Amino acid sequence: MPLLEVSNLSAGYGDAEVLFGIDLTVDRGEVVAIVGSNGAGKTTLLRTLSGIVTPTAGTVRLMDEDVTGLHAHTLVEKGIAMVPEGRRLFPRLSVRRNLEIAAYSKRARPKLAESLRAAYELFPILQERSDQLAGTLSGGQQQMVALARGLTTTPEVLLVDEVSLGLAPVMVSRVYDAIRAIRDTGMTIVLVEQNVGQALSIADRAYVVQQGRIALSGSGKELQSNEEVRRVYLGLEPAEEENQ
Ligand SMILES: Nc1ncnc2c1ncn2[C@@H]1O[C@H](COP(=O)(O)OP(=O)(O)OP(=O)(O)O)[C@@H](O)[C@H]1O
């Protein structure tokens, strides 16, 4: 049984339909990447899975329970956490306070001390900076707070939107190291990325979204060598040796 099973999911904003019959599965412990061009619907898919956007058709099952159309706060209680694009921290609150606030749910509150310990173990820099205002951290460090905040909700699955957006390349590698470290704890991760190369390098499996539909899927390795993916998303010629 997959941890997350999405069948025939459609969603949009008012009359603007964005997703058309998405099917995907995520197994426990997997990193699944959702890649595609600007405006393909990747963020909308994550927003629908996290209850911010209500689906117009289809089903979402979490650990075999139908959770379709539940509100975001209910889905947090059930174990779906979203790390949004742009991080959305409270810039004038300390790192520690940002993490504590995330543990508001009945699910997470009793485990707050344990979650903070685990977050600081994963991200020692955040422990060093725990009293610093989140808005004064570097972009990469803020992204680590956003990831740690998602983990503080003690999720079954962490949905991560555009984690590398706006970061310098060196920071992107650090943030990806952090995601590998999170994966190594056994966490299930769904990663939406425009940085297709990075996402495929870490993904067990990936889906390519085009105009609101799944156009391709396969293991991260398979998609890295898929001709269309190489040409359209990685900017490589089909015969070109990968040397980046
Ligand atoms: N709040 C909104 N109201 C109306 N339309 C929206 C809203 N958010 C996104 N859209 C539209 O939905 C479509 C899909 O956007 P979405 O953000 O899901 O794509 P994406 O693949 O994540 O791309 P990006 O990486 O640029 O965010 C786009 O045409 C976008 O203009």
CATH code of the domain in which 51 resides: 3.40.50.300
> Which residues surround ligand 1 with Cβ inside 6 Å?
13, 16, 18, 36, 38-44, 194
Predicted local confidence at residue 102, as pLDDT: 83
In this structure, the residue with its CA closest to atom 30 of ligand 1 is 39
In this structure, the residue with its CA closest to atom 3 of ligand 1 is 13
Q: Which atom of ligand 1 is nearest to the CA of 209?
A: 21
* Gap from CA of 114 to ligand 1 centroid (Å): 36
Average pLDDT over residues 38-62: 95
Predicted local confidence at residue 81, as pLDDT: 94
Assess if residue 28 is contained within a domain: yes
Assess if residue 47 is contained within a domain: yes
Predicted local confidence at residue 94, as pLDDT: 94
Predicted local confidence at residue 104, as pLDDT: 81
Per-residue pLDDT tens over the stretch 159-182: 999 988 888 888 888 889 989 999
Total domains, the chain? 1
* CA dist., res. 147 & res. 35, Å (int): 19
Q: pLDDT class for 84, splitting at 50, 70, 90?
A: confident
The answer to whether the complex's ipTM is over 0.90 is: yes
* CA dist., res. 164 & res. 197, Å (int): 12
* Gap from CA of 40 to ligand 1 centroid (Å): 7
Dihedral class, residue 211 (left if φ above 0, else alpha if ψ from -120 to 50, else beta): left
Assess if residue 241 is contained within a domain: no
Predicted local confidence at residue 107, as pLDDT: 86
* Gap from CA of 122 to ligand 1 centroid (Å): 32
Assess if residue 243 is contained within a domain: no
Q: Which residue has better confidence, 103 or 97?
A: 97
* CA dist., res. 181 & res. 38, Å (int): 28
Beta-bridge partner residues of 218:
206
Predicted local confidence at residue 237, as pLDDT: 66
In this structure, the residue with its CA closest to atom 13 of ligand 1 is 39
In this structure, the residue with its CA closest to atom 26 of ligand 1 is 38
Assess if residue 69 is contained within a domain: yes
Look up the domain containing 90 and give its range: 4-233
Assess if residue 96 is contained within a domain: yes
Average pLDDT over residues 97-119: 88
Q: pLDDT class for 217, splitting at 50, 70, 90?
A: very high
Alpha helices in 129-212 (DSSP H): 139-152, 169-184, 196-202
Assess if residue 239 is contained within a domain: no
Most trustworthy range by pLDDT among 89-93, 108-112, 233-237:
89-93
Residues 24 and 71 sit within 8 Å (Cβ to Cβ):
no
Query: pTM of the prediction?
Result: 0.92
Q: Which residue has better confidence, 121 or 9?
A: 9
In this structure, the residue with its CA closest to atom 4 of ligand 1 is 13
* Gap from CA of 12 to ligand 1 centroid (Å): 9
Assess if residue 152 is contained within a domain: yes
